[in-house]
């Protein structure tokens, strides 16, 4: 007998009806109406501590690292399965650094614009705050997000497979505004962005990519950038691989040609089966992942539940997400939850009636440029398995009849 795809057809058409939703809750018992101990005394004062903290019962919702050896703690990952909505709290935003997190005095920090410009400029933080600002919601994704999936399924959580992505409201000055102040010379085609960390992390950026929506940001989700996110100022290139959004930004040099820095020759290239490597592979391709249920979790009760996930594309908005429960043999459209913004995480949901049957859950996203998230076989056929970056294949979670969810390749 063929496995039914996802849930009951009437629920898929109409969403969770009131009667179905009630199956997720038990009947109230008299003893559950008794007053608990936390309702019998005064709570903590509002200003203790001065900076708000999560409940102690959420102590396991933290960033984690899977890096081993000399690069220990060089990156940490966002707990996607434990979050709700599309905004990542500042303290849970993934981080990646190449020589540790510098401690920078904002009063002494300067951002210099020089090279092929009519006048070299040096901006203080106060200078930047005087310019007209913009606030926009965008995702930021490391180009190595998902790299463990190139070979075999080794990670035991969606935090491990896809946790090098976060989404925030960013506030800052359009980069085009600063370049206008300096005055671009006609021969300027590329920009070298360099950070103030000890490794002087730098990347060559094509000027035509920057003038549309690039920001020089100093705030994240309404507060100053965290040190690990580039305090006091960083570059933000929406939709572009994360290493190019240089943190602790100290200079922008305009030139006619790319600089071919260490990070764009020995690092951040995509090795192809032919032995050649792609360089300057800027955009993050369309991608999605189911966050609940996902690997490392266990379904303990049968009945109606929501399949929940995230989709994104560096090329624009998400147009559609489809979900499969039979390893891609059949698909149904998921519901996209607003806001649906360009180069931003989009949340999708679909009700599922799980009655203890084995299943393989997948999601497949399409963006408004027409790109469709590929299967793993399609991606490997085009790119091979020697690459480390830009893995965007459909992710598969196997749900056993016991409810255990594991990471599989199908």
DSSP state of 154: -
Distance in Å from the first CA to the final CA of the chain: 20
SS (H, E, C) 279-313: CCCCECCCEEEEEECCCCCECCCCEEEEEEEEEEC
CATH numbers and ranges of domains, the chain:
75-278 (3.90.420.10), 287-408 (2.60.40.650)
Please answer whether residues 193 and 244 qualify as being in contact, where contact means their C-beta atoms are separated by less than 8 angstroms. Answer: yes
Burial, 66: exposed, middle or buried (Cβ in 10 Å; 0-12, 13-18, 19+)? Answer: middle
Q: How many C-beta atoms surround the C-beta of residue 293 within 10 A? A: 23
Could you list the pLDDT tens digit for every one of the 410 residues in the chain? 334 444 445 444 434 444 444 456 667 777 778 888 888 888 877 776 788 889 999 999 999 987 655 544 588 999 999 999 999 999 999 999 888 899 999 999 999 999 999 999 999 999 999 999 999 999 999 999 999 898 889 899 999 999 999 999 999 999 999 999 999 999 999 999 999 999 999 999 999 988 989 999 999 999 999 999 999 999 999 999 999 999 999 999 999 999 999 888 888 888 888 888 888 889 999 999 999 999 999 999 999 999 999 999 999 999 999 999 999 999 999 999 999 999 999 999 999 999 999 999 999 999 999 999 999 999 999 888 888 899 999 999 999 999 999 999 99
Residue at token pair 């690459």: 387
Tokens of 269: 């290239």
Q: Is 211 left (phi over 0), alpha (psi -120 to 50) or beta?
A: alpha
For the whole model, what pTM was predicted? 0.91
Residue spans of beta strands (DSSP E) within 53-103: 75-76, 95-96
Q: Work out the percent of the chain whose per-residue pLDDT is above 90.
A: 74
Q: What is d(CA 86, CA 167) in angstroms, rounded to the nearest whole number?
A: 6
Provide the pairing of β-strand 234-236 with 249-255.
Answer: unpaired
E strands along 6-110, which residues? 75-76, 95-96
């Amino acid at each position: 007998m063929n496995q039914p795809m996802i849930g009951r057809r009437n629920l898929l058409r109409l969403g969770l009806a009131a009667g179905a939703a009630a199956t997720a809750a038990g009947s109230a018992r008299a003893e559950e109406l008794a007053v608990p101990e936390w309702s019998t005394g005064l709570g903590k004062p509002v200003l203790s501590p001065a900076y708000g903290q999560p409940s102690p019962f959420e102590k396991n919702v933290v960033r984690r690292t899977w890096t081993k050896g000399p690069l220990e703690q060089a990156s940490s990952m966002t707990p996607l399965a434990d979050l709700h909505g599309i905004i990542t709290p500042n303290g849970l935003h993934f981080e990646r650094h190449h020589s540790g997190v510098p401690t920078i005095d904002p009063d002494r920090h300067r951002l210099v614009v020089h090279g092929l410009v009519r006048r070299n400029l040096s901006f203080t933080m106060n200078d930047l705050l005087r310019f007209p600002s913009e606030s926009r919601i965008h995702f930021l994704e490391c180009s190595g997000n998902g790299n463990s999936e190139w070979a075999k399924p080794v990670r035991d959580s969606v935090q491990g497979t896809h946790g090098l992505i976060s989404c925030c409201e960013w506030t800052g000055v359009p980069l085009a505004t600063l370049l206008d102040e300096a005055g671009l010379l006609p021969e300027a085609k590329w920009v070298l962005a360099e950070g103030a960390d000890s490794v002087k992390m730098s990347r060559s950026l094509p000027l035509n990519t920057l003038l549309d929506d690039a920001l020089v940001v100093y705030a994240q989700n309404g507060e100053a950038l965290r040190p690990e996110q580039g305090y006091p100022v960083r570059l933000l290139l929406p939709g572009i691989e994360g290493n190019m959004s240089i943190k602790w930004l100290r200079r922008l040099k305009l030139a006619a040609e790319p600089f071919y820095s260490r990070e764009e020759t020995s690092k951040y290239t995509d090795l192809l089966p032919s032995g050649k490597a792609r360089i300057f592979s800027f955009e993050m391709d369309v991608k999605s992942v189911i966050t609940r249920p996902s690997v490392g979790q266990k379904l303990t009760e049968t009945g109606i539940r929501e399949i929940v996930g995230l989709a994104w594309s560096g090329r624009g908005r998400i147009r559609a997400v489809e979900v499969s429960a039979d390893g891609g043999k059949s698909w149904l459209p998921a519901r996209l939850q607003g806001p649906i913004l360009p180069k931003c995480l989009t949340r999708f949901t679909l009700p599922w009636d799980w009655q203890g049957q084995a299943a393989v859950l997948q999601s497949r996203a399409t963006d408004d440029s027409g790109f469709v998230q590929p299967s793993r076989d399609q991606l490997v056929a085009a790119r091979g398995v020697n690459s480390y970056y830009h893995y965007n294949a459909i992710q598969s979670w196997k749900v056993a009849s016991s409810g255990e969810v594991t990471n599989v390749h199908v």
